[in-house]
Chain A
Amino acid sequence: MVRTIIKRELLDNILSFKFMACVLVAIALVVISTLYLTNDYLDRLKDYHKGVTNAREYLSKIPVYSYLEVGIYKPPSPLSIFVSGIERNTGNTVTLTHREIPTELEGGLIKNEFSRIFSFFDPSSVIVVVFTILAILLSYDSISGEKENGMLSLALSNAVPRYKFLLGKYLGGLLSLLFPLSFCFVIGILMVLLLKGVSPPRNFFGAVFLSYLLSILYLSAVLLIGIFISSRTKTSFHSLIFLLAFYLITVFLIPLSINSYARNMELKKARNFEMNAAGLVRERTLKVAAEREKLPVRRTWASMAGGEKFMLKRINPEVTIEYYKRYHEMREPIVVDFAQRIFELKRKDLQTAKKIQKTKVFFLAFLPSANFEQASELAAETGGENLMRFIEQIFLYWHQLVRYLEEKNAFSLRYFYPYAEKFSPEENDFLAKFDDIKGGQKWAKYKDELNKYDKKEFRFLDLGDMPVFKFYESGFAARVQKMIFNGLILLFYNLLFFILAYFSFSQYDPRAQM
């Protein structure tokens, strides 16, 4: 019996104008957005590969440790084609040195800072915006509409139990939603599979499956809410107005307000770094200056260096080399220490932000649409949570890097001097010429000769045993674990509204009141 009702419902739905119109719009949007996002993904992938190659090349030609900058790139996730998240906007790279622990990514494909005002659709937002409307349109008259055209009393007079009728309506609606939904997912998967030179990552199918499951749960919840409302209202027009208001409020209005509030809180509370960073930087400068006074050797002429990247020329008085050696042996550990202290400030902010985000996600989880969006971001790992994890892993890697540098005794002579420590007799003779020179003015006179010595004995660092950064994405189980709360809430909504609809329908007066 249920099967007959489902079949009738399915046919009814699929042949209706609303269904065709919505499905056409949805499919067109999904095709356009996957096309665009696939291209975008490929661009980002190219950017990523280019960055990684450049970083590797750079590492192969480092003369001194002060030049050591490890470029770390975040690989783009092919799942961003389905759920674009914030991945496209946050940049994809950090340049790591022992001087600073970064908490923000840079670069990425956004070159035009003003273009951030444009945002657009990914398939998951098509589900939220268009499929929700479709689910509402399919369910708003499921009970009241049947009553209005008199079918309800007819159907119920055929000894159909009410729960079977309800189940038939629900399953029929769900099945008619499943067709276009599955179609959209298939398009997306095909796009990724057909990409040239891209093999879907290990967790790809698992994550897509999770997204699919979530979409079904979500749409089924909307459908049940629609049926419930339809069984509570006298006319289908009222039920529709109510549902559309519900759509506006839960899909746009409340998520927007909660997000906006959370952002305000973040701006207000996460200001530890902003308030205290300047003080720490000053403290560092003062400490370095004080320690410098204690050094037994004084700086002499010819410091041809500036900034943090620092390399000394070959020909320099021994006392100058000695000075810089001692200076950096003193300075760099202080710099490392302060990098950690500054990071602690940022970390407090990050933790505050994380807490606020968590609270936000918790509250949003109670709105079906926002819940779905959050959960699919968690499943696809393209949201803020993933970014945080990336930054935490960078922090761990920074410690490895500093330990490596300390083991290599990097903050000493090799920090700024890529030559052998002792001068040859020839060089000593040459140096003697400079004894009477002060200041840089006469430097020009001996420039060519000096450069000749620079070419000799110049050695690049061997960084073969340096630890390599690798970003670990979560496995399937971890993803499930992360979105389980959201999934359970959606499931709970399904059950709740089914039961509510059942009770409401069992007391429903099927007679049309005209």
Chain B
Amino acid sequence: MFGELWKRQLVEDITSSKFLINFVIILASVIGFSLLFLGHFQSLEESYSKNTNANDQLLSESSKELVRLLSAPLEFGMKPGPFLFISDGYEEKIPKGLVFRPKGYTPDIKETTGLKKASSPDLSVFYSTDLTFIVQFLLSFFAVLLAFDAFTSEKEKGTLRLVYSNPVKRGHLVLAKYMSALLAIGLPLLLGLIIGLILLSLSSVVPISSGFISGLSLFFIISLLYLSVFVLIGLLLSAFSHNSKNSLVLCLLVWIFLVVILPKSSGLFLNLKRFDVPTEQEIEERVRKVEREVWNRHSHEDWMTRSGQDASTKLNVAVSNEEQRARQEVYDLYLRKKIGAVRILQSVNFISPSSLFEYSASALAGTGLFHFEHLWKQVTQYRRDFLNFFMAEDRKDDQSDHLYFHPDYLSRRPVDFNRIPKFEEKDIKTGERLKDAAKYLVLLGLYNIFLLILVFNKFQKYDVR
């Protein structure tokens, strides 16, 4: 009996005009977005490789004297990848990467500070052209449209009573409606994803790896999880109301509220004192204050630089390093604070399944804030490697005083450019992506279960007349 119900419902769903419109819109937007992405990706790739070349050139120029490696200002941008097509994560709106900032003569070469300004994106645009938008916006809308009249229209037509005159369990009917709606919404999505993948792989611009394909399939699964929420909301509201019109109005408003309004509302809390972070100048001031504090602590000592072997010179170098560490701590602290504030604000949006989906897609794709955090981690590791390499090279030179990292007392020999460690951003592993996304997925799952129980419960008491 359940099979019959399900089949009937599916045929009805798929032959309806809303399914057709949905199908056309989804395919058109996937194709349009793929073409847009191909154009955009090319320029992203170009500027990224230009940046890498600039870094290499700087390193090769500095390799003439080992000590000059310490003052090469390297800039590490976020590497563009095909994952941006899945979720853009508003990567253009956040800082583009990290900088090793040199500061003239003082031995403060190792800090990762100075966020590059975000390229000036069109700030008036709320969303990005990626698959996430298609699912988050268009498909959720159609999910609601497919489900809003599930019970009311059957009641209006009188078929609901007819169905019940047969020995059908109510739960089965709900399940049939739910499954068929999910299938009717999942099919166009699957087809869209495949077409998108084919379009991307046809052009030679975007490198398609097996990781991308598995990412895409994971994306499909979380999309279903998300869309199921909206199908359930449609069913629930349909079970709450007694005619299709009211149910539709309710559905539309709930959709607008959950998808359009709520995800954009946590910005309202941005002005709270709690989320206040200092401006760039204020951070610089604090850094200078910390520097002064360190030197003041040693003000009674003699730290004049004389020659490489003097105790006073050694002290000078030690204090400099202490100062450098303190400064780096300040920069790190504020960077962490800024990201932390955004994360807390995002958690306000957890009420909206739409935001949950957006974040989980972004985590899965490893873009946006997640991308930045991973880059930060990798750059920190690279800094360690770089300095280790530097010290190892320096030890080979017996003319050097080996006082790290004072530029006057280090090796001035040339160094082989090819042996200098170069930074290359590694792709985030699938396990880590899933770990990042887990929190949001669990919440989405809870939403589903909660709604499912509500729908079953409500429908058990539904008046079929």
Contact = CB atoms under 8 A, between A and B. Distances in A.
Interface in A468-497: none
A253 interface: yes
A113 B338 contact: yes
Interface of B: 17-18, 21, 25, 29, 32-33, 36, 39-40, 43, 47, 90, 93-95, 115, 117-129, 133, 137-138, 141, 145, 244-246, 248-250, 252-253, 256-257, 260-261, 264-268, 270-271, 275-280, 338-339, 341-342, 345, 368-369, 372
B124 A133 contact: no
7 contacts: A114-B341, A114-B342, A118-B266, A119-B123, A129-B260, A248-B138, A261-B39
A256 interface: yes
Nearest to A261: B36
Interface of A: 17-18, 21-22, 25, 29, 32, 36, 39-40, 43, 85-86, 89-90, 104, 107, 111-121, 129-130, 133, 137, 237-238, 240-242, 244-245, 248-249, 252-253, 256-257, 259-264, 267-268, 377, 383-384
Given A121-B265, A253-B29, 13 more contacts: A25-B253, A114-B95, A116-B118, A120-B264, A133-B256, A244-B252, A248-B137, A256-B127, A256-B129, A260-B36, A263-B121, A267-B47, A384-B124
Given A25-B257, A36-B268, A112-B338, A268 B93 contact: no
A111 B276 contact: yes
Given A112-B275, A241-B18, A119 B267 contact: yes
Contacts of A43: 271
Contacts of A25: 253, 256-257
A126 B94 CA distance: 26
A134 B369 CA distance: 36
A223 B271 CA distance: 38
A117 B257 CA distance: 19
Given A257-B36, A267-B43, A241 B267 contact: no
B90 A117 contact: yes
Contacts of A268: 39, 43
Contacts of B17: 238, 241
Nearest to A43: B271
A21 B249 contact: yes
A40 B32 CA distance: 37
A306 B178 CA distance: 72
Contact of B120 (A104, A119, A130, A137): A104
B256 A264 contact: no
Nearest to A85: B124
B95 A17 contact: no
B271 A17 contact: no
A383 B122 CA distance: 11
B90 A116 contact: yes
A121 B261 contact: yes
A346 to B, nearest CB: 12
B253 A129 contact: no
A111 B277 contact: yes
Contacts of B338: 112-115
Contacts of B25: 245, 248-249, 253
Contacts of B123: 86, 89-90, 116, 119
Contacts of A32: 268
Most buried by B among A111, A114, A268: A114
Contacts of A113: 94-95, 115, 117-118, 338
B253 A21 contact: yes
Given A86-B124, A90-B123, A256-B127, A116 B137 contact: no
Contact of A21 (B93, B124, B250, B372): B250
A43 B275 CA distance: 15
B36 A264 contact: yes
B129 A257 contact: yes
Nearest to A107: B279
Contact of A121 (B124, B127, B264, B278): B264
Contacts, number: 158
Interface centre among A32, A40, A257 (most CB of B within 10 A): A257
Most A CB within 10 A of own CB, among B141, B253, B338:
B253
A115 B267 contact: yes
A260 B276 CA distance: 31
Contacts of A90: 123
Given A111-B279, A133-B256, A240-B248, A259 B125 contact: yes
Contact of B256 (A112, A130, A245): A130
A133 B256 CA distance: 9
Contacts of B275: 112, 115
A260 B128 contact: yes
Nearest to A383: B124
- The residue among B124, B271, B279 with the most chain A CB atoms within 10 A of its own CB is B124
A90 B401 CA distance: 49
A155 B106 CA distance: 88
A92 B29 CA distance: 37
A116 B268 CA distance: 12
A89 B341 CA distance: 18
A18 B43 CA distance: 47
A115 B339 CA distance: 8
A287 B413 CA distance: 32
Contacts of B261: 29, 121, 129
Contacts of B21: 241-242, 245
A39 B39 contact: no
A116 B271 contact: no
B268 A120 contact: yes
In the A-B complex, the 4 residue pairs with the smallest Cβ-Cβ separation, listed nearest first, are: A118-B267, A116-B93, A18-B249, A117-B90
A264 B39 contact: yes
B141 A114 contact: no
Nearest to B249: A18
Contacts of A245: 21, 25
Given A113-B115, A129-B256, A130-B256, A256 B125 contact: yes
B3 to A, nearest CB: 28
Contacts of A17: 245-246, 249
B278 to A, nearest CB: 7
Contact of A22 (B118, B127, B253, B267): B253
B46 to A, nearest CB: 9
A194 to B, nearest CB: 20
A262 B122 contact: yes
A199 B245 CA distance: 47
A107 B281 CA distance: 10
Nearest to B252: A133
B7 to A, nearest CB: 23
Nearest to B119: A267
Contacts of A121: 261, 264-265
Contacts of A377: 124
A114 B94 contact: yes
A117 B94 contact: yes
Nearest to B369: A114
A315 B38 CA distance: 64
A118 to B, nearest CB: 3
Contacts of A263: 40, 121-122, 125
Contact of B342 (A29, A107, A115, A260): A115
A456 B252 CA distance: 76
A117 B260 contact: no
A90 to B, nearest CB: 7
Contact of B129 (A40, A242, A260): A260
Nearest to A266: B122
Contacts of B95: 113-114
Interface centre among B17, B129, B256, B261 (most CB of A within 10 A): B261
Contacts of B244: 237
Contacts of A18: 245-246, 249
B271 A39 contact: yes
A441 to B, nearest CB: 10
B277 A117 contact: no
B96 to A, nearest CB: 10
A268 B44 CA distance: 9
Given A120-B265, A259-B122, A262-B122, A112 B341 contact: yes
